[in-house]
Chains A and B, each alone.
Chain A
Amino acid sequence: MSDLTRLTLAEARDGLSARKFSAVELNQSFIDAVARANSLNVYLVETPEKALAQAKASDERIARGEAGPLEGIPLGVKDLYATEGVQTTAASHILEGFIPQYESTVTANLWRDGATMLGKLNLDEFAMGSSNETSYFGPAISPWRRQGADGKVSDAKIVPGGSSGGSAAAVAARLCLGATATDTGGSIRQPAAFTGTVGIKPTYGRCSRFGIVAFASSLDQAGPIARTVRDTAILLRSMAGHDPKDTTSVDAPVPDYEKSVGASVKGKVIGIPKEYRLDGLSAEIAALWDRGVEWLKAAGAEIREISLPHTRHALPAYYIVAPAEASSNLARYDGVRYGLRKTGKDIVDLYELTRAEGFGKEVRRRIMIGTYVLSAGYYDAYYLRAQKIRTLIKRDFDLAYQAGVDAILTPATPSPAFALGEKGSADPVEMYLNDVFTVTVNMAGLPGLVVPGGLSSDGLPLGLQLIGRPFEEETLFALGQAIEEAAPKIGLPEAWWA
């Protein structure tokens, strides 16, 4: 049998329904691959028994002709999603050993549709980071490596991006057919771009946040990372939907997103925001963006330059709003009811010792920033102004869409992936700048899709981002497919780790 891990999710699904292989065989292939990939540090918890038990049940349902849309498909789950009976840590020491008695709505939807779970995937601690280096359990490593013009491969370990670094790396390294991820400021899209995978952050409210460890509630959104636009569309259909347990989830029917994969994009109006052409944008990224424009034009789309004038305020405003919400969301990790507890002489001592030891440096930094900007006397100057900027950013997009723009094309990241320790160690802002093209989408609550556009000069993937109208993910899948078809195939990284 050929290597089943090389299949796309859609191919595996079709193979299963054609009985070319069983769900147990498919899952076993991935379990074996995961077992050989420890050096990537992608999985925090492996659940092979669970995957095989689910796969066995899937084979029975397939035999009975009762297969669900994701029957037997092995997935990885970002360790921010609560999984019943399986440790859920948010990659934080403070939640080490925490085993929820409940399942997140999104993963429950996936299991309802027949998917199987290979394990829990690494991430930046509490989803705070752009490189997976803030994980308490060590960084996840990208399967990609730099390659010089001479073809020589560098040994430098490359980050998979973050915060959904484990999800993106697992998909790229063929350690699952798809993965759940979350995106607060770019945490799905930046890792997807860094690993040559496809990721979509859906419209805010499209997926339930119930059972997902909260980072910044008004920005957090669940979404999938997978190898192709089609695979991503298939996963999102199962993940999305209204949930009475999350009042910010939207009660609107979930379309069959796969149907829009391959739909014509003729006549679609694509906005090119001039403000995204930052000073100092690398020539490589600028060229990628230009090629993206050409590919969509060739597919029949109409290109239009647009203005999103408040773009430059988005990143600073994001780094006020997100830490503010995080400082409050993370207050529950106090050592009283679950997770790490460090006892002291009194309750205040317990709080301080537990939280000082339980949270990593970046999480502590953001809690402090958030606490500061919400404090009396600073609230108006920081939080309130940031919220006003947020309104203006949203209005920028609204005006563009009202003027007839169907979607907006931008680079996904200002650079290709970097090596471990290369960025942000001296100045955290250097790391925060990774989110410059992605945070606007969260601030405005819009859907954003990232697709690979090619390789950088040193052989690392580069991604393009498509930003859509609210709840018009279908347009993004159609356009994303057009780019996927036109872009040079970047292939899969060689399994140097196995």
Chain B
Amino acid sequence: MNTHANSSKLIPGATGEWEVVIGLEIHAQVTSHSKLFSGASTEFGGAPNSHVSLVDAAMPGMLPVINEECVRQAIRTGLALKAQINHRSVFDRKNYFYPDLPQGYQISQYKHPIVGEGVVLVDLSPTEQIKVGIERLHLEQDAGKSLHDLGANDSHVDLNRSGVALMEIVSKPDMRSADEAKAYVTKLRTILRYVGTCDGNMEQGSLRADVNVSVRKPGAPFGTRCEIKNVNSIRFIGQAIDVEARRQIGILEDGGTIDQETRLYDPNKGETRSMRSKEEAHDYRYFPDPDLLPLEFDQAYVDELAQHLPELPDEKKARFISQYGLSPYDAGVLVLERASADYFEAAAKGRDAKLVANWVINELFGRLNKEGKSVEASPVSAAQIGGIVDLIASNVISGKLAKDLFEIVWLEGGDPAQIVEARGMKQVTDTGAIEAAVDEIIVRNPDKVEQAKAKPTMLGWFVGQVMKATGGKANPQAVNDLLKAKLGL
């Protein structure tokens, strides 16, 4: 399992090295058209209180009715996490008062979640992988939003999110560094996006994390943990862990003890602050929701969903390595997003896959990142990048010209082969024409010829001159060979 003895992950302290222990509770908004127990829309960004049904507003006598699509999404996620699917689960009420919680309770799953134990494989580098255990996944309602800044003396409530389905995915305390935690969230988000059960959009709050952090001396029992609530970016998750671990180590090394409590991370100040102590913790008075029957389905239902599950990132990566001969690193990069992997496969069809992978990863992804575009919004299609690769493979253009061609396609679009034809970008492989150019340059620069004989690196200068003379279209290999022969190098 984990390489937890790995000393590089330990944090040095005054009294020796410390190990940080991390577990994550991820709240992932289920991709569905309507809410978990009502028909109201889940669309993001509606006018306040425009997506609120009578059920969401908890009007007297209203009853929840389970949205089957959310159940299907939870099962599909469970399958993607290689987790146990529980054929019978129970919805409970978690009771507390808050203005953005209209029912006075959240419907959640407490003792009997829909998904049990599973596992996520997390790549830390091309050679280092850890397994993070999944404790459980359960379905629950999101709350609404309280707005305190609209009026001087009053607060407002927006119930658009009230009742939206969330999957709470609880990991085991299997992570030992901020980097591991970040890699785990990244991988989990990749999996959720692959199966289409959560868009993973952290800016819109579709994915939030509660981070449990404790520290201990290596080999010692678990320390007391603190829970950092509602961290909403992967970067902040990493920062919050580092800051909190250092805080706890400081306290312990000063002879203090850690109080189990809920804390908040403030990214502006780079610190965590106490939100409420264990003593102040709510007594949620969980009990089975009598409005809802236990959720039951059979194995055939699960099998049907499993059958239509897309290929998952781990399987895809393995296939890219074996089928296309890609390096684990390239395969890993390509499967990070399903759209990237699909793009690559479309471009690689019938071509040199390694060359295609190079072009997709280096040129395309590089350019997309620079422009902040997603692969779905790429101006260069898989067919176009395939066309460019074809022109390189058949020696029609050089690698250098291909980069120019990519730029043209990116900016102007069009069929790469036609662009090369129309703009005379074809590589000159006719040795006669290249030879003429070589001869002319040798004749005109006798001094340089002498220098080159003493200093063979001068060859580069000659190559440059020939390329210039041929408008960059000469086959560089042919130029090289000819020059070497003529200069006697």
- Interface set of A (CB-CB < 8 Å, partner B): 81-82, 88, 90, 95, 98, 100-102, 104, 209-214, 216-218, 244-248, 324-325, 327-328, 330-332, 334, 336-338, 347-348, 351, 371, 374-376, 379, 383
Contacts and interface: CB of A to CB of B under 8 A. Distances in A.
Interface residues of B, number: 29
Contacts of A102: 54, 59, 61
Interface stretch (B19-27, B283-291, B301-309, B387-395): B283-291
Contact of B290 (A88, A217, A330): A217
B35 to A, nearest CB: 14
Interface in B285-320: 285-287, 290-293
Contacts of B60: 82, 88, 90, 95, 98, 100, 213-214, 332
21 contacts: A82-B60, A100-B60, A102-B54, A102-B59, A102-B61, A216-B290, A246-B63, A247-B293, A327-B95, A328-B95, A328-B104, A328-B285, A330-B104, A331-B95, A332-B104, A336-B99, A338-B59, A347-B155, A374-B95, A374-B286, A383-B287
Contacts of A246: 63, 65
B57 interface: yes
Nearest to B54: A102
Contact of B287 (A209, A211, A379): A379
Given A247-B65, A374-B285, 12 more contacts: A88-B60, A100-B60, A102-B59, A210-B61, A216-B290, A217-B291, A247-B66, A327-B285, A328-B105, A347-B155, A376-B283, A383-B287
Contacts of B34: none
A85 to B, nearest CB: 14
Nearest to A208: B63
Contacts, number: 98
Nearest to B64: A247
Interface in B5-64: 54, 57-64
B61 A104 contact: yes
Contacts of A218: 290
B157 interface: yes
Nearest to A213: B60
Max chain A Cβ within 10 angstroms of own Cβ: one of B283, B290, B292: B290
Contact of B105 (A95, A101, A331): A331
Interface of B: 54, 57-66, 93, 95, 97, 99, 102-105, 155, 157, 283, 285-287, 290-293
Given A102-B54, A347-B99, A247 B93 contact: no
Contacts of B99: 334, 336, 347
A248 B286 CA distance: 20
A351 B97 contact: yes
A337 B158 CA distance: 12
A184 B291 CA distance: 14
A324 B288 CA distance: 11
Given A101-B54, A336-B99, A336-B102, A328 B65 contact: no
A285 B104 CA distance: 44
Contacts of A247: 63-66, 291-293
Given A216-B290, A336-B99, A374-B95, A209 B59 contact: no
A325 B290 contact: yes
